[in-house]
């Protein structure tokens, strides 16, 4: 007997939400992005993690667009963006800022960056922090420099040997059966995983393969200075975490809490894992809105007080 899984209203609503796709060239590489919401509203750019793409935000972005102008980016080497010979943190940061401009996100857009995308958000904050309204690091934290182990520069680790290309599957269904989240986790919404798997494939000679560039980390150096970059970002920062996340990049939250004296805003979404935007998309939307709307209030408190003051004392 086949079990029919009832899909929540947010799933179809997100798929039906009006969006526009665009492309912007950054350092001779075409970068794909998608937008939701009206131009003129406060801007948000959403950054995905490694081996992912902008569809990771499909079930969050439309629900932010009632109060924000939202853009989601395919970083180079991922999704429907072009690949590079070599990647760098600065190039990724420039891609983010180029999308902010091309998507018309306005002055001082906000950044929400998940997993490896948190490294990209960190680089954006390092190079362009004064031009940003704030950065939310989603399941991304930074370690003490003395404990950091370089995750990039993988070609050196292989002794200079080229990486194997992604496998080509003759049948699309076979490829979809191999789709996994990293790190693996339970997910109560199998239709989300099916959708993401479909969006992660591209057709090539001989069948189907994954969209991401397997050589992205060959020369990329993420650096021992991540902690120093984090504490010196010149715009507001906050962290959102999955309660049961096992991703290594999210495990230094206690260190951030310690060095910030508990003053860094850190939010845990109960019952979720590393990919909490799939586990609880509406809770993710609420957490993001709560942080960003408060930052907007703080940035515009004088104007708010003047508007309220116009009504006088009752």
pLDDT, tens digit (0-9, with 9 covering 90-100), for 36-93: 999 999 999 999 999 999 999 999 999 999 999 999 999 999 999 999 999 999 999 9
Starting at the edge strand found earlier in the chain, the sheet holding 43-47 runs: 20-26, 29-36, 69-73, 43-47, 110-114, 134-138, 237-242, 266-269
CATH of residue 245 = 3.40.50.1820
Query: How high is the pLDDT of residue 6?
Result: 83
Q: Cα separation of 167 and 187, whole Å?
A: 25
Is residue 211 situated within a structural domain? Answer: no
Assigned token pair, 116: 């490896």
Is residue 264 situated within a structural domain? Answer: yes
Is residue 192 situated within a structural domain? Answer: no
Query: How high is the pLDDT of residue 314?
Result: 55
Domain encompassing residue 110: 9-162+217-309
pLDDT, tens digit (0-9, with 9 covering 90-100), for 264-284: 999 999 999 999 999 999 999
Query: How high is the pLDDT of residue 3?
Result: 55
All residues at 6 or more sequence positions from 18 whose CB lies less than 8 Å from its CB, including other chains: 36
All residues at 6 or more sequence positions from 114 whose CB lies less than 8 Å from its CB, including other chains: 46, 47, 48, 49, 52, 56, 138, 139, 140, 277
Is residue 290 situated within a structural domain? Answer: yes
Query: How high is the pLDDT of residue 201?
Result: 98
Is residue 33 situated within a structural domain? Answer: yes
Is residue 72 situated within a structural domain? Answer: yes
Query: How high is the pLDDT of residue 1?
Result: 44
Is residue 189 situated within a structural domain? Answer: no
Quick check: pTM over 0.85? yes
Query: How high is the pLDDT of residue 96?
Result: 99
Query: How high is the pLDDT of residue 60?
Result: 98
For the chain, how many structural domains are there in total?
Answer: 1
Assigned token pair, 77: 């080497």
Is residue 186 situated within a structural domain? Answer: no
Query: How high is the pLDDT of residue 151?
Result: 84
Query: How high is the pLDDT of residue 312?
Result: 77
Residue ranges, the chain, pLDDT below 50: 1-2
């Amino acid at each position: 007997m086949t079990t029919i899984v009832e899909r929540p209203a947010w799933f179809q609503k997100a798929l039906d939400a009006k969006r526009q796709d665009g492309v912007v060239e950054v350092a001779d590489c075409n970068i794909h992005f998608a937008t939701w919401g009206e131009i003129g509203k406060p801007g948000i750019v959403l950054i995905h993690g490694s081996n992912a793409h902008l569809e990771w935000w499909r079930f969050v972005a439309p629900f932010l667009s009632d109060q924000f102008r939202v853009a989601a980016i395919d970083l180079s080497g991922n999704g429907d963006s072009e690949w590079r010979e070599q990647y760098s943190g600065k190039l990724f940061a420039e891609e983010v800022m180029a999308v902010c401009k091309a998507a018309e996100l306005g002055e001082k857009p906000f950044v929400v960056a998940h997993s490896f995308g948190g490294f990209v958000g960190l680089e954006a904050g390092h190079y362009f922090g004064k031009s940003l309204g704030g950065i939310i690091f989603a399941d991304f934290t930074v370690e003490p420099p003395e404990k950091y182990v370089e995750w990039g520069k993988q070609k050196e680790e292989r002794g200079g040997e080229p990486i194997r290309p992604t496998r080509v599957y003759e049948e699309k269904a076979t490829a979809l059966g191999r789709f996994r989240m990293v790190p693996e986790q339970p997910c109560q919404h199998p239709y989300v995983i099916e959708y993401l798997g479909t969006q992660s494939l591209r057709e090539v000679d001989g069948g189907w393969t994954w969209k991401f560039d397997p050589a992205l980390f060959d020369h990329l150096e993420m650096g021992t200075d991540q902690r120093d970059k984090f504490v010196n970002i010149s715009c507001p920062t906050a962290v959102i975490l999955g309660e049961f996340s096992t991703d290594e990049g999210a495990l230094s939250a206690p260190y951030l809490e310690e060095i910030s004296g508990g003053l860094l805003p850190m939010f845990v979404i109960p019952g979720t894992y590393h990919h909490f935007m799939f586990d609880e998309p509406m809770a993710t939307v609420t957490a993001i809105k709560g942080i960003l709307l408060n930052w907007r209030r703080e940035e515009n408190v004088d104007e708010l007080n003047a508007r309220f003051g116009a009504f006088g004392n009752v």
